[in-house]
Amino acid sequence: MTKVLLDTDVAAVVGVVDDAVATFTNKRTQLRTNSTTTASTLAPDLSVANAYYRTTQTATLTVSAPIGTPLIGEIISMRIKAAGAQTLTMNATYKPFGAAFETGLTAGKDLLITAQYDGTDWATLMAVAE
């Protein structure tokens, strides 16, 4: 016996909803992460991850502009564990949102950087773990 699938049957099987708005309840988006050790540059790649972890930073660090095409409201976060005191340089696309940027990493402290794209720049908050 041959069964004929209707368009609605196919949509249910593959999860496709044509241009419709769907509300997800009790679901979460899987966070895309990237974790590395020391490097002189942290270049967030939006096609790879939105959360970056630098587990032991032992060199001067430059945070470059994100790679890729961001969407308005997109958020990236970077957490850097400093193994020693280091200089920190932020690309000009990151704009302080509130307090001025840290200019260095403190040995034994974590630096958390969170940035949200506003259509032009990345509104950026920084906090050092005490």
pLDDT of residue 15: 55
**Structural domain boundaries, residue 120:** 28-128
Q: How far is the CA of 25 from the CAs of 8, 22, 29, 49, 73, in angstroms?
A: 22, 10, 11, 24, 21
Residue 13 confidence (pLDDT) above 90:
no
* pLDDT category of residue 14 using cuts at 50, 70 and 90: low
Query: 73-125: per-residue pLDDT in tens?
Result: 999 999 999 999 999 999 999 999 988 999 999 999 999 999 999 999 999 99
Is residue 7, in this structure, part of any structural domain at all? Answer: no
- Average pLDDT score over the chain: 88
Number of structural domains, the chain?
A: 1
* pLDDT category of residue 23 using cuts at 50, 70 and 90: confident
Residue 60 confidence (pLDDT) above 80:
yes
Report the CATH number at residue 98: 2.60.120
Is residue 121, in this structure, part of any structural domain at all? Answer: yes
Is residue 117, in this structure, part of any structural domain at all? Answer: yes
Residue 51 confidence (pLDDT) above 60:
yes
Reported pTM: 0.78
Is residue 109, in this structure, part of any structural domain at all? Answer: yes
Is residue 13, in this structure, part of any structural domain at all? Answer: no
pLDDT of residue 102: 92
